[in-house]
Structure 1
Amino acid sequence: MREGKRQAAVFLDRDGTINEEVGYLDRIEKLRLIPGAAEAIRLINESGMKAIVVTNQSGVARGMFDEDFVHQVNTRLREMLRAEGAAIDGLYFCPHHPTEGLGDYLRTCDCRKPAPGLLLRAAEELRLDLARSYMVGDTLKDIEAGVRAGAQGILVRTGYGEEAAAELVPDEEPRKNGDMMPHRVPIEKAGTQGETAIVRPVHITGDILDAVRWLLKDRKT
């Protein structure tokens, strides 16, 4: 039997990208959507691309909350988005931490961003075309995870995005459409080893809605 064509996706960080960054989201009442987030995800839905959330939740490892609570928050997030006509096609999280944690949660894993494991797992399970996909997030770890998975990274200035943008340095190579200079940062600065490899967001913008509007135009060029 011939396998169907793989689909493009928009991978989305959760805290600071879709919902407001509040430190550790340890109470459901703290869950508040960033303005425009539902519209952004609705645009992804309408485009035919998949909307996939990939999020680090080291609060589990640190004993602040358990995996059941993360599922509860994610369920509530889906409900809030659904109320505004937006749907998440997949949601993946990492509960581990390499240096702080309890029991089996204390370990170096392949799913904690900037490792690309969550994206690779989603691509395998949902038959996604990573080369035609994007990763939208507010940290350099998000961008690195996307780049290492084979997708293009877009940095937003919500959440920790302003701090992340400040770490980037201008590159000398012009972008293909010439609308702005790209930026880069050594991967070692984003949390891993590697002196020559770089993290290169293809775009830096205000928020998730700006990011999605941009990528929908970019994929047509």
Structure 2
Amino acid sequence: MTTRRPALFLDRDGVLNVDRGYVSRVEDFEWIEGAIDCVANFKRRGWFVFVVTNQSGIARGLYTEEDMQTLHAHMAEELEKAGTAIDHFYYAPWHEAGEIARYRRESIDRKPGPGMLLQAMADFPVNREQSFLIGDKQTDMEAARAAGVGAFLFTGGNLATFAEWALASFEDGVRG
């Protein structure tokens, strides 16, 4: 029997990295202050850490899935250099008004839908009741609630500091 563990779900743009609008190239990527420390702190606790990110820029034809995978590989390399890791990157390339036909559709995976979080909980032995999401938009909060996990709205500053506050609040019964 595999022991279930809590998970920290993190939105990408605006939470892990500075949101410059459709960030898809390594040269445009910049970590949010405290982002790497946040991941490391939760991994040290034995938590899963997942990225759950809408990537409608793919459907809009602004960049490709390969571009996004290259950026995620860069993030993973930087985290590895710091001695930590993301357990899995989940992304939703869909948008109902997309320019690229194969990505033009509605999807439960696209936040505010809970699909990416539910998929992570199906793929890994996650303890849902002890898990929460940090996002920077109301759609992130809605997705977390729909998936049955806590939710905290990040509005800037040091992500590691915010995540520690969120964890303490969550442990005190605040669900975001």
Q: TM-score normalized by structure 2?
A: 0.92
Residue 99 of structure 2 aligns to a residue whose secondary structure is: coil
Match of 1:47 in 2: 45
Partner residue of 2:67 out of 66, 69, 79: 69
Match of 1:147 in 2: 145
Instruction: State how many pairs are aligned.
Output: 172
Rounded Cα–Cα distance in structure 2 between residues aligned with 1:26 and 1:218: 33
Rounded Cα–Cα distance in structure 2 between residues aligned with 1:220 and 1:111: 28
Rounded Cα–Cα distance in structure 1 between residues aligned with 2:158 and 2:134: 9
Residue 58 of structure 2 aligns to a residue whose secondary structure is: coil
Partner residue of 2:160 out of 209, 212, 217: 209
Asked if the contact 2:150/2:170 (under 8 Å) is kept, the reply is: no
**Unaligned residue ranges in structure 1 (runs of 5+):** 159-205
Amino acid at match of 1:216: L
Residues 52-103 of structure 1 deviation map (CA, whole Å, 9 limit, x = unaligned) = 1000011110111111111111000111222222211111001000123311
Amino acid at match of 1:213: E
Rounded Cα–Cα distance in structure 1 between residues aligned with 2:142 and 2:34: 24
Bigger mean CA offset, 114-123 vs 74-83: 74-83
1:103-122 aligned at under 5 Å gives the runs 103-122=101-120
Q: CA RMSD in A?
A: 1.4
1:174-185 aligned at under 5 Å gives the runs none
Higher relative contact order (CA 8 A, sep 6+): 2
Match of 1:172 in 2: none
- Work out the percentage of aligned pairs sharing the same amino acid: 34
**Unaligned residue ranges in structure 2 (runs of 5+):** none
Partner residue of 2:129 out of 126, 131, 139: 131
Residue 59 of structure 1 aligns to a residue whose secondary structure is: helix
Amino acid at match of 1:95: P
Instruction: Flag as ranges the 4+ runs of structure 1 deviating above 3 A.
Output: 218-221
Task: Give the CA deviation at 1:46.
Answer: 0.8
Asked if the contact 2:133/2:151 (under 8 Å) is kept, the reply is: yes
Asked if the contact 2:61/2:98 (under 8 Å) is kept, the reply is: no
Amino acid at match of 2:168: K
1:24-63 aligned at under 5 Å gives the runs 24-63=22-61
Rounded Cα–Cα distance in structure 2 between residues aligned with 1:49 and 1:103: 38
Match of 1:163 in 2: none
Task: Give the CA deviation at 1:43.
Answer: 0.5
Q: TM-score normalized by structure 1?
A: 0.74
| Greater fraction helix | 2
Structure with the greater alpha carbon radius of gyration: 1
Asked if the contact 2:136/2:155 (under 8 Å) is kept, the reply is: yes
Rounded Cα–Cα distance in structure 2 between residues aligned with 1:219 and 1:139: 19
